[in-house]
Chains A and B, each alone.
Chain A
Amino acid sequence: MSHTDAPKGTDYLHADYSIKSWLLTLDHKRIAILYLITISLFLAIGGSMALIIRMELLTPEGDLLMSDTYNKAFTVHGVTLIFFFLIPSIPAVLGNFLIPLMIGARDVAFPRLNLLSWYVFTTGGTLGVIALVVGGVDTGWTFYTPYSTSFSNTAVVTAVFAVFFAGFASIMTGLNFIVTIHKMRAPGLTWSRLPLFIWAQYATSVIMVLGTPVIAITLLLIAAEKTLRIGIFDPALGGDPILFQHLFWFYSHPAVYIMILPSMGVISELIACFSRKRIFGYEFVAYSSIAIAVLGFVVWGHHMFVSGQSMYAGMVFSVLSFLVSIPSAVKIFNWIATMHKGQIRLDSPMLYALGFIGLFTIGGLTGLFLAVMGLDIHVHDTYFVVAHFHYIMVGGAILGFFGGIHFWWPKITGRLYPEILGKLSAVLIFIGFNFTFLPQFIAGYLGMPRRTHSYSEEFQVLNVLSSAGASILASGTIIAVAYLLWSLWYGEKAGRNPWNAKGLEWETSTPPPTTNFERTPTVTEEAYAYGPDDESGEVNNERD
């Protein structure tokens, strides 16, 4: 970067320019940047696979890719985007950067553990890319047995070890955040004054610490069955394939909340700032994060209604799934109520927040179709499910991530991005997304199964629409990446608080100094104290 004018040592970006100072940094802000660069590469890999998949599905015949190649492509897509992008995305980037700043701390509780987590994650990710792209894995991200353990001749063992590594990075991050949030809050920053982003990160961290060990063990069991032929999941060896599904979803359903809860935390910050109002029903929103984390652990069986699980277990999981939808609904209604009598500005981050509310609402409601046992019989493993979880994971998790990146970009990089392009890409992403995934609900109910490179002719119109939408979605994303990179060199320099937002992270200089604050701040008011006397949301890009 060309910050030659900034005196060395003034902020974390310019404290030292050497490669070593980045690779051995203990600064949570620099580790966040390391994570941002790494996961962006995984987003590029997983995203480009999505485009290849959509290209193949333009026609009913499997004419672009061989079936094996297609199977490997959607496995790359799923594994990289879930394990190496979405799960670490907001926690490891925005969480790492913001948690100490938001709570007035100098760093996270265990800076070395933080750096170690990045190395472990990068090792896992690299191994994953080698397994998936060089070797190829054709199991899908779900690694269902006995296919993965006894039938697939692809690099399954390497891939599960890669995910195993990434899981440990996740545990380290979660542990670090829990201790940091408990022990390092600034004087006066009580639990009821915490930003809702912190509550969401806290709930997410609890899931990471409690859930990830289960997937780690499950993945080792896959490796054990595959290499040592110990019968655990394959009935031919005396195992039980349903046991795998229980273990897998015991983690992987809560993992959906690892992806979506941090985004909800971001949205709370954005809605409050761009409505110039305190969040309506702060307690309900805060506790709903905890409720989601807890209830999220007891609904995994709704992935298994048609898989041979007991009917009565299915009923329990179905009713609990309705319960877990309530805290999410509470958040949405409270965000809308927050906008009531606000001073609403539609800057790019707010467009992402509104997009999130729209898409997450549809994603959540279509999730109910799948929680209804009878209806799940028909739509299970069809494109209806594909559409539903993309509404949650892309429409929810990724829009929240993009919204957060735009909101805190000036603080992180010290630069402003071009607002016009920001709005354009937010709108393109929203339109492209709906174009891509709305038709898939219809294709799914018509009966189009997932994970096939060829399909019955009558689904073609819907698939062409979907592929067309994917190109709009991709354009919007590429534009965003382009102007964000451009802004690093040519963007207008950002002031301390360009959005005129509340929160400790905006009180320190931009970019923050290595030590975050010159002196430890004292908190005397609740979060989002946007009072009636503070109604101007005008951009205030004064520099200190």
Chain B
Amino acid sequence: MNSGGLMPEQASNFAQEMDLLYYVLIGLTVFFALLVFVPMLYFVVKYRAGSKADRTRPTYHNLKLELAWSLIPLAMGLVVFVWGAKLFVEMYTPLESENALQITVVGKQWMWHLQHPTGQRENNELHIPTGRPIQLTMISQDVIHSFFVPAFRIKRDVLPGRYVTMWFEATKTGRYHLYCAEYCGTDHAKMTGWVYVMKPEEYERWLVASKWGAVSDAARDTMAEAGERLYNDMQCNSCHDPAAQNAPSLAGLFGKERRLSDGRVVTAGEDYIRRSIYKPNSMKVIGYEPIMPTYEGLIDEQEVLQLIAYIRSVRDEADDLTGRETTPEGDS
């Protein structure tokens, strides 16, 4: 880090625009502050009690002037509003890009668990390559946290009970601070870590190297493989396999529209799958008996993310086996 500097390092695609917006606002601040302070100090000196300054015909109203100093700052503000909203939408709109590296983040008191699609798991550290968009899918397993990397100018609250996403592209190799920005209890201050940005080839080497020590098959799994292992271990397959009759098949499920017995039509995304596992009775698919038990307490947030990765992965190869209630063109 550039200790002693006034600005954090610029290490992501958003950093330059963020800083430019910051400088523009500093410029506006200085402009308006001078507009206030210079006349104020000038009047204090010129019109100090007993000075000889001309005080004839003082004004008490000037509608044009008052409208001017109401409307001009407003117009300037609106320009900045549009710019800021545009940047915000860009940063918080989930990426559709196939090229994006999908990293999952689970926050808990007081630690960050991260997992790569290829299965590497990290705690309080994240290794990523430059030159490729990184998409974070984040959830908390207890209170609200906030994933904050100042050098990337990214931050988003990580909520319990629901996924949020955020993306960026690292542009500069190095080691950068990761913080929790939302107060989360006793060791909030210690819920920190490092993000290591590497060249793509180094990242590939890191991916391999970080599996060398793996002693079990499970540790060598990709996320989807880990999900499949869990799917079988928890015997989800006994009801949810394409051949089964008493529960909807999960093949080709991801991204489809689902009609629920209470009339709602929902998209089978991450939140839908998570909720179906934890609170199956609130997500009853029309046409099936509500026989699924809850897996709350049996499967943790990290494992749910692996199951989601698995369900996503069986999408293409089994498109002809989609459940009978899904609409084929519901893919979004």
> Is B21 touching A374 in the complex (CB atoms < 8 A)?
yes
Partner of A330, one of B29, B66, B89: B66
Complex Cα spacing A147 to B140, Å: 12
Say how far B74's CB is from chain A's closest CB, in angstroms. 5
The majority secondary structure among interface residues of chain A is helix
Instruction: Give A461 to B5 CA distance when docked, in angstroms.
Output: 11
B62 → chain A closest CB, angstroms: 7
- Interface status of B288 (Cβ within 8 A of chain A): no
Whether A278 pairs with B29 at a CB distance below 8 angstroms is no
A6: Cβ under 8 A from any B Cβ: no
B209 within 8 Å of A (CB atoms): no
CA distance A40 to B55 in the complex (A): 42
A336, B62: Cα distance in complex, Å? 13
B220 at the interface (CB under 8 A from A): no
A281 and B161 contacting across the interface, CB-CB below 8 Å: no
Closest Cβ neighbor of A446 among chain B residues: B8
A107 to chain B, nearest CB (A): 33
Check A454/B189 contact, CB under 8 A, given A332-B36, A362-B33. yes
Cβ of A450: which chain B residues have Cβ within 8 Å of it? 181, 183
Contact indicator per residue, chain A 126-151, by CB within 8 Å of chain B (1) or not (0): 00000000000010100010110011
User: CB-nearest residue of chain B relative to A66?
Assistant: B186
- Chain B residues with Cβ below 8 Å from A68 are 186
Contact B190 A380 (CB under 8 A): no
CB contacts (< 8 Å) of A361 on chain B: these are 32-33, 36-37
The CA of A463 and the CA of B156, in the complex, are separated in Å by: 25
**Which among B17, B21, B84, B182 is the interface contact of A318 at CB below 8 angstroms?**
B84
Q: Is B69 an interface residue (CB 8 A)?
A: yes
Is A449 interfacial (CB 8 A cutoff)? yes
Contact of A326 among B25, B47, B74, B192 (CB under 8 A): B74
A357 touching B58, Cβ below 8 Å: no
Check if B37 sits within 8 Å of A358, measured CB to CB.
yes
Please tell me the size bucket of the interface on A: 35 or more
Q: State whether B81 touches A318 (Cβ < 8 A).
A: yes
**Cβ–Cβ contact A451 & B87, under 8 A:** no
User: A445–B7 contact, CB under 8 A?
Assistant: yes
Tell me the A406-464 residues at the B interface (CB within 8 Å).
Answer: 442, 445-447, 449-458, 461
Among B10-34, those with CB < 8 Å from A are 17-18, 21-22, 25, 28-29, 32-33
B60 near A281 with CB under 8 A, answer yes
Interface presence of A67 (CB below 8 A): yes
B29 and A365 contacting across the interface, CB-CB below 8 Å: yes
CB-defined contacts of A242 to chain B, threshold 8 Å? 159
Whether the Cβ atoms of B181 and A235 lie closer than 8 Å is: no
Contact of A458 among B1, B17, B28 (CB under 8 A): B1
Name 10 interchain pairs, CB-CB below 8 A, sorted by A.
Answer: A67-B187, A71-B183, A151-B109, A314-B88, A345-B48, A362-B29, A369-B22, A378-B150, A380-B146, A447-B8
B residues near A (Cβ < 8 Å) are: 1-8, 17-18, 21-22, 25, 28-29, 32-33, 36-37, 39-40, 43-44, 47-50, 53-55, 58-62, 65-66, 69-70, 73-74, 77-78, 80-81, 83-93, 109, 142-144, 146, 148, 150-151, 153-157, 159-162, 164, 177, 179-190, 192
For the complex with contacts A340-B59, A358-B40, A372-B80, 11 further pairs of A-B residues with Cβ separation under 8 Å are A241-B160, A336-B43, A337-B65, A343-B48, A361-B36, A368-B77, A374-B91, A381-B155, A381-B183, A449-B179, A451-B188
